[in-house]
Chain A
């Protein structure tokens, strides 16, 4: 079982982010970066499929800045065999199409059975990179998958669709984007962290690029207005209904 997992370094969702001085990127100071949570499902699945198959190789690839070595090292500590960083300091500002092109160039020529992604990166929330890489490589893609069963030359996946589940089959090699519920990602153990030090993490510089989509501006949501107390007990109900109807317009 040969699996390639594409992973991204993203700001932790619990970080209070600030817009940087240029007005169109995040101020990285004080921001904690983590492995994209959906990519954790992809990594976990790759490791399980490799182990279930009784062998093979899991390679993690990231398009990121130099600091993304930390996230790749974490993936190695979880149990992946090798990692490749496609490095460019502007990578965090790249759009999905550009990212997909750079990832596809690095993956083309490598053999794999499964090409796994998180269903979305929690920083840009575009859901696009997995399907775009699959398209560029000419392999089928199943997205937002919650169960995977690999058979002889094929894979059967379950997807969550509105109000139910859909079961689909695709030939290998196949690209899959992973949804919460697929598995319970492991924590890297101390032994895994020690082992990761000896595993290969290759850093390949990526030539400067012009993003297909440019971020013009980032703004924080306006601060929430203070709440208002309309009264106490049952006496306040008419005023509350009035406000919900005519001010908030939710009734």
Chain B
């Protein structure tokens, strides 16, 4: 999958710096050579390609924006976005792994962690020698995490954590979980919970038909004792986990572009080769209307995230701007994937082709990191000043 004019219709390449393009091209080659050949099999079997984690660490895909002294590359957010785009060109589940590791685990440790926590965890997480997960959602609290039931209470120098988390990406395979819990005053605090703490377990949630390359788990915290040193000292209140979500959503908005491009490219090739009524499928007006629509949406989505990235790197990006990009790009990617799947006819439902797998995956992406509706409400509040959440 090389850069072709169809995929960069507005020459957005010209808006990227040389090192940004170089990262994109290197990750793209790695994805094509190493990841894409094995992903459909992993998707079918419901497993993550864990043997590639060391290579991903070596390339620098985990926490690329983290400072060099903590094992990151100290690169900008556009680079992080391009990494997400290239990974999701292959599979949303693999991109999810990187989103969680970088935005939901390394970011809170870097932003809210103590110096000791940073030194202990960030270099290992950057190399992929440790895996992290982020536990916010609970069985009864998804879109309103402020209602969480998981509790933390002080016991001498320690804390006792009790509760259940649900739908947690990488939970079962994580060495460390970032767990959010309320104290007796109802304030949300963040904790690093190592996998071998007594009372902690993370059974895998099976039988998904979406994001099958990604491990999804329940976190069970049964009176788990952790020292005060495991609390993220800078994190107080729901704002802390929400700020992590802003980081991850930013990457997801970029990732959706990659998924769309993969489906578009597949549909362009397929429809130009598939003969129907003695003509290529691509020569019919009904087909061209769909391709025109998808190509336009890709270009719009690219422009949104490019500008968002520049705002983020300038330090002026607002969370509601991230909501617009996540909301738009993911729903457009989902629609594009469904359309491309249909253009491929029966072939479209097989794992030999990619659009169907992308469409299934994107159903998760529509829901997690703020559902489509939640982002509508965030935007509605930003535009009207009125809160329609509850």
Using CB atoms and an 8 Å cutoff, list the residues of chain A in contact with chain B: 12, 14-15, 30, 32, 70, 73-74, 77, 187-191, 193-194, 196-197
Contacts of B30 in A (CB 8 A): 187
Residue pair B59, A187 in contact (C-beta under 8 Å): yes
A-B contact pairs, 25 of them (CB 8 A): A14-B2, A15-B2, A30-B5, A32-B3, A70-B18, A74-B26, A77-B26, A187-B26, A188-B22, A188-B26, A189-B58, A190-B64, A190-B75, A191-B60, A191-B68, A191-B73, A193-B19, A193-B26, A193-B73, A193-B75, A194-B19, A194-B73, A194-B75, A196-B19, A197-B19
CB closest chain-A residue, reference B22: A193
CB closest chain-B residue, reference A192: B60
- Chain B 1-27: CB-based contact to A (< 8 A → 1; otherwise 0): 011110000000000001100110010
Report the minimal beta-carbon distance from A123 to chain B, rounded to whole angstroms: 16
Contacts of B61 in A (CB 8 A): 190
Report the minimal beta-carbon distance from B124 to chain A, rounded to whole angstroms: 16
Residue pair B2, A190 in contact (C-beta under 8 Å): no
Contacts of A193 in B (CB 8 A): 19, 22-23, 26, 73, 75
B387 touches A (CB below 8 Å): no
Complex Cα–Cα for A32 and B2 (A): 8
Residue pair A190, B60 in contact (C-beta under 8 Å): yes
Complex Cα–Cα for A117 and B2 (A): 25
Complex Cα–Cα for A57 and B311 (A): 40
The 9 A-B residue pairs whose C-beta atoms are closest, nearest first, are A190-B60, A190-B73, A189-B60, A187-B26, A188-B26, A14-B2, A187-B30, A191-B73, A189-B59
B74 touches A (CB below 8 Å): yes
Report the minimal beta-carbon distance from B69 to chain A, rounded to whole angstroms: 12
A187 touching B29 in the complex, CB below 8 Å, given contacts A12-B2, A32-B2, A194-B75: yes
A74 touching B22 in the complex, CB below 8 Å, given contacts A12-B2, A191-B73: yes
Q: List B residues 62-103 near A (Cβ within 8 Å).
A: 64, 68, 73-75, 79
Complex Cα–Cα for A162 and B23 (A): 39
Contacts of B3 in A (CB 8 A): 32
Report the minimal beta-carbon distance from B58 to chain A, rounded to whole angstroms: 6
Using CB atoms and an 8 Å cutoff, list the residues of chain B in contact with chain A: 2-5, 18-19, 22-23, 26, 29-30, 58-61, 64, 68, 73-75, 79
CB closest chain-B residue, reference A194: B73
Q: Is the interface of B mostly helix, strand, loop or mixed?
A: helix
A-B pair number, CB within 8 angstroms: 50
Complex Cα–Cα for A146 and B61 (A): 31
Complex Cα–Cα for A12 and B5 (A): 14
Complex Cα–Cα for A73 and B58 (A): 19
Report the minimal beta-carbon distance from B16 to chain A, rounded to whole angstroms: 12
Complex Cα–Cα for A197 and B75 (A): 12
Report the minimal beta-carbon distance from A141 to chain B, rounded to whole angstroms: 30
Complex Cα–Cα for A12 and B19 (A): 19
Complex Cα–Cα for A188 and B75 (A): 14
Residue pair A190, B23 in contact (C-beta under 8 Å): yes
CB closest chain-A residue, reference B62: A190
Q: Which of B18, B61, B75 has most chain A Cβ within 10 Å?
A: B18
Residue pair A77, B75 in contact (C-beta under 8 Å): no
Q: Which of A70, A191, A197 has most chain B Cβ within 10 Å?
A: A191
Report the minimal beta-carbon distance from A34 to chain B, rounded to whole angstroms: 8
Complex Cα–Cα for A70 and B18 (A): 8
- Apart from the given pairs A70-B22, A187-B29, A187-B30, 5 other A-B contacts in the complex at a CB distance below 8 Å: A189-B60, A190-B73, A191-B68, A194-B73, A197-B19
Contacts of A197 in B (CB 8 A): 19
Complex Cα–Cα for A190 and B86 (A): 14
CB closest chain-A residue, reference B61: A190
Report the minimal beta-carbon distance from B83 to chain A, rounded to whole angstroms: 8
Complex Cα–Cα for A187 and B59 (A): 7
Complex Cα–Cα for A73 and B19 (A): 9
Report the minimal beta-carbon distance from B53 to chain A, rounded to whole angstroms: 15
CB closest chain-A residue, reference B73: A190
Complex Cα–Cα for A99 and B195 (A): 60
CB closest chain-B residue, reference A29: B5
A190 touching B59 in the complex, CB below 8 Å, given contacts A73-B18, A197-B19: yes
Complex Cα–Cα for A70 and B22 (A): 8
